[in-house]
Each structure stands twice: as C-alpha cells, then as structure tokens.
Amino acid sequence: MCGIVGLYLKNPALNDSLGALFSPMLLEMTQRGPDSSGFALYRDQQPPGRLKLVLQCAEPEFSWSELAAELTRMFAVDVDFSAVHTHCLLSLTAEETAVRRYFSRAELPCAVVSIGRHIEIYKEVGLPEEVAGFFRLREARGSHAVGHTRMATESAVTTAGSHPFSTGSDLCLVHNGSLSNHNRLRRKLEKAGAVFRTDNDSEVAAQYLDIQMRQGASLEQALYSALDDLDGFFTFTVGTSDGFAVLRDPIACKPAVMAETPDWVAMASEYRALAGLPGVETARVWEPEPATVYVWEQGGRAHTACRNTQEAARK
C-alpha cells in the first residue's frame, strides 16, 4: 500500500504553519503505511555556496560534534550542527560533490539522508505519529513538504529504505506502487556513475529524475521521460527547491487526489488527508489523470501538461 502526501504553499503568509498543516495529513495516512515514515521539508534556504546536510546514525553514542570538528578540518570552514533524534542537520560552505565524496570514502556509521541548499529529510522506522514526534514536524516552518507512510512490499523495513528518497541536490521523491524494471535501470544508471544506497525500487526513480535534471531536463521533461523509461505502478510526488510535481502511471491503479486554492496546492493518496486543510471545502478537488504531469514551480505558477493517455496506455 503506502500513503503519500504533499503540500506546497503559494501564500508565504502560511509558511509559519507548514508543519501544523502538513503533520495531520501525514498522520491521516497511517493505515496505509504503519511500518515507517518520513518527510522532506523545504525551509531556511541557504545562500549560494552554502549546503545543508542531513545525516542519520543509529548509534546513540555517535558524536556529532566530533564529526563536525572533522568536517571543519577537512573543508577548512565553520560547520553548524544540531542533532535531532537519530538525525543531525549540519550546514557548511562547501561543494556538494566534495562533501559526497567525503562521505562515500569515510568509514562512518552515519549516512547522508539529504544534501541541498533548501531540503531537509527526516525518516525513520515506526508509526508516522512517532516519527513526526521524533523530528518535531508539527512545529516546522517552510514553503513546501512531501511525506510518506510506508507499508513495505519490495525491500527491507529500514531507515534507509524509508521515503522520501533524495539522491541529488534538493530533489526528493515519494512513491506509492512498485516498479518492475528497476534492476535493469539501476545497472544502466550505475554505468552512468550513479551510486545507490538501497535495493529499493523508489531510489532508482529518484536517481533517474536527478540524472535527467542534471543533464538539463526541466522537472516536467524529466517526469515525461519517466513515463517512457519506468515500468510498473506508480503515483509519484516530487519536491524540488522551488517546485512540486505529481505523476501517475498510465494504468493509474495507485490512488491520488489533489486540491488547490489560491493559498496552497496539496496531494494525498486519499481525500481524508486533505480534509483538514483551511479552505478545502471550496477548493478545486480533482483526481490527477493517468500519464499526466502536474507541476507547480516558483511560488505556484502551475503548468499541467497532458500527454495522449491513449498512446501511453497502449505501451
């Protein structure tokens, strides 16, 4: 099963209540995914050159301050850090590739959950209510958020196997469904230099979108390519630094519902997750069409691109 939710605020006056609006959406999807949960928050965007890093470590004795000191020596910069539950948010002035290289080589018990100027991902095994509590989701401020409640079918129930998946700067993906060609695609992407952390099919989809966008594709173009290159069942919700997108496969077995007002746009696996949003009674509520890309970028400028679903359904 799995539940997915996303909230993109078009009215910045609501940014202070992002967590208060988004947390109930995530918790409402508990029945669809009680084994693990996670969310990406887009908040406190850093100036160019400065990175935010979210790391996760299951060992309670692990010293984040020693790691921060080590990073300070390595990169000769100040490193700010704040630990929360099993995760730690660090910020430093450094190149993303250099930071990734450091963590791929260093033999550390911690893992990179997200890297970017804007994104922070927190995810853990456990009921969504517990996970939201660990990371104080309800108090979070920000411009948009994407979340997932997991009922694992394809791979292990671990922190690394939880959603959202983020393999590239500020991009993240949550997935309801299962991909059938992910092993072949994984090998192809590995040849192109991609590094995978899990056996999870959804990580392949995140990596795929990231590579497409690094090669110059827009979010919309990357999602259209995904319709050609990904086989299987999917409802995706994708976050980028200033964007938010939804895509369903041409068969569209996996549910999705969207709602939009002048202040926000939201998606969820089921309407009940949207039922508490302010103004939802008069919102435009609709079911996203199969094989159709829905994108909001730059504070809410929407563009919906409709492909010929008949052509897609025949594939």
Partner 1 sequence: MSAPASETRIMDLRQISVRELNQALHDLPEAGASTRWQVRNAAGEHALAVGINAPCAVEINGHVGYYCAGMNKYAELTIHGNAGTGLAENMMSGRVTLKGNASQSAGATGRGGLLVIEGDAAARCGISMKGIDIVVRGSVGHLSAFMAQKGRLVVCGDAGPALGDSLYEAQLFVRGQAADLGADCMEKEMRTEHLEALGVLLDQAGINLPARAFRRYGSARSLYHFNIDYADTY
In the shown chain, the binding pattern of residues 227 to 256 toward partner 1, with x for contact by CB under 8 A and - for none, equals: -------------------------x--x-
Considering the complex, what minimum distance in angstroms separates the CB of residue 261 from partner 1? 15
DSSP at 45: P
Check residue 25 for interaction with partner 1 (CB under 8 A): no
Among 45, 93, 181, 309, binds partner 1 (CB under 8 A): 309
Check residue 272 for interaction with partner 1 (CB under 8 A): yes
Check residue 265 for interaction with partner 1 (CB under 8 A): no
Check residue 313 for interaction with partner 1 (CB under 8 A): yes
How far apart (Å, rounded) are the C-alpha atoms in residues 233 and 87?
31
How far apart (Å, rounded) are the C-alpha atoms in residues 54 and 143?
18
Question: In the complex with partner 1, which residue's Cβ is closer, 217 or 285?
Answer: 285
Check residue 273 for interaction with partner 1 (CB under 8 A): yes
Token pair in block for residue 63 = 């010293």
Residues whose CB is less than 8 angstroms from the CB of residue 90 and which lie 6 or more positions away in sequence, other chains included: 52, 53, 54, 55, 64, 68, 71, 79, 80, 81
Considering the complex, what minimum distance in angstroms separates the CB of residue 256 from partner 1? 9
Considering the complex, what minimum distance in angstroms separates the CB of residue 270 from partner 1? 6
Secondary structure (3-state) at 181: coil
Among 204, 219, 266, 274, binds partner 1 (CB under 8 A): 274
Check residue 257 for interaction with partner 1 (CB under 8 A): yes
How many CA atoms does the CB half-sphere of 115 hold within 13 Å? 21
In the shown chain, the binding pattern of residues 282 to 301 toward partner 1, with x for contact by CB under 8 A and - for none, equals: ---xxx--x-----------
Question: In the complex with partner 1, which residue's Cβ is closer, 73 or 314?
Answer: 314
Secondary structure (3-state) at 213: helix
Considering the complex, what minimum distance in angstroms separates the CB of residue 272 from partner 1? 3
Whether residue 2 lies in the annotated active site = yes
How far, in Å, are 191, 270, 281 from residue 25 at the CA level? 39, 10, 16
Give the number of other CB atoms < 10 A from CB of residue 153: 10
Considering the complex, what minimum distance in angstroms separates the CB of residue 223 from partner 1? 20
Check residue 151 for interaction with partner 1 (CB under 8 A): no
Token pair in block for residue 177 = 């469904």
How far apart (Å, rounded) are the C-alpha atoms in residues 58 and 76?
27
Check residue 2 for interaction with partner 1 (CB under 8 A): no
Q: Which of 262, 288, 258, 289 is nearest to 274 (CA)?
A: 258
Considering the complex, what minimum distance in angstroms separates the CB of residue 285 from partner 1? 6
Check residue 1 for interaction with partner 1 (CB under 8 A): no
Strand partners, 175: 236
How far apart (Å, rounded) are the C-alpha atoms in residues 115 and 126?
23
Question: In the complex with partner 1, which residue's Cβ is closer, 74 or 285?
Answer: 285
Question: In the complex with partner 1, which residue's Cβ is closer, 176 or 212?
Answer: 176
CB-neighbour burial class of residue 143 (10 A; exposed 0-12, middle 13-18, buried 19+)? buried
Question: In the complex with partner 1, which residue's Cβ is closer, 44 or 287?
Answer: 287
Find out whether 37 and 129 touch, Cβ atoms under 8 Å.
no
- Which residues form the interface with partner 1 (CB under 8 A)? 252, 255, 257, 270-276, 285-287, 290, 309-310, 313-314
Positions marked active-site: 2
